[in-house]
Amino acid sequence: MAWRWQYSISLNPVNRQHPLFQTAISGCCLNQPPYGLPGTIKHENGFPMSTDRFENSPVSDALESFRARFFPDAALVQWHSWKWQLQHRIDTVKKLRRILELTESESAAFHHGWSKIPFAITPYYMGVVTTMNSDSALRKSMVPTAAEFQVNPGESRDPLVEEKQSPVPAIVHRYPDRVLFLTTHQCAVYCRYCTRARIFSREAPALSRARHWKEGLAYIAATKSIREVIVSGGDPLILANDSLKGLLTELRKISHVQIIRLGTKIPVALPQRITDDLLGMLRSFHPLILSLHVIHPDELTREAAFAIERLADAGIVIGSQTVLLKTINDSTSVIQKLMENLLRLRVRPYALFQCDPILGSDHFRTSLDKGIEIIEDLRRQTSGYAIPHFIADPPGGKVTLAPNTIVAKTLSGYRLKNWRGEEIEYPDPSSGEP
* Catalytically annotated residues: 174-175, 178, 187, 191, 194, 196, 356, 393, 398
Beta carbon nearer to ligand SF4, 80 or 265? 265
Interface residue with ligand SF4 among 80, 83, 196, 310 (CB under 6 A) is: 196
Q: Is 234 a residue that touches ligand SF4 (CB under 6 A)?
A: yes
Q: Total residues contacting ligand SF4 (rule CB under 6 A)?
A: 10
Is 194 a binder of ligand SF4 (CB under 6 A)? yes
Q: How many CB atoms lie within 10 A of CB 430?
A: 6
Round to the nearest angstrom and report the end-to-end CA distance of the chain.
55
C-alpha of 220 from chain center: 24
- Selection from 193, 199, 174 nearest residue 323 by Cα: 193
Q: Which residues of 11-22 are buried (b: 16+ CB within 10 A; e: fewer)?
A: bbbbbeeeebbe
Q: Which of 54, 79, 119, 190 binds ligand SF4 (CB under 6 A)?
A: 190
- Segment contacting ligand SF4 by CB under 6 A, of 35-43, 107-115, 186-194, 304-312: 186-194
Task: Write down the least CB distance from residue 191 to ligand SF4, Å.
Answer: 3
Secondary structure (3-state) at 233? coil
- Select the span of 51-59, 189-197, 219-227, 337-345 touching ligand SF4 (CB under 6 A): 189-197
Q: Tell me how far, at minimum, the Cβ of 223 lies from ligand SF4, in Å.
A: 24
Cα separation, 237 vs 404, whole angstroms = 39
The C-alpha atoms of residue 299 and residue 297 are separated, in whole angstroms, by 5
Assess 235 for contact with ligand SF4 (CB under 6 A): yes
Minimum distance from residue 293 beta carbon to ligand SF4 (Å): 5
Binding mask 291-320 for ligand SF4 (x = CB under 6 A): --x---------------------------
Query: Mapped to the 3 state alphabet, what secondary structure does 73-111 carry?
Result: CCCHHHHCCHHHHHHCCECCHHHHHHHCCCCHHHHHHHH
Phi-psi region of 98 (alpha: psi -120 to 50; beta: other; left: phi over 0): alpha
The residues binding ligand SF4 (CB under 6 A) are 187, 190-191, 194, 196, 233-235, 265, 293
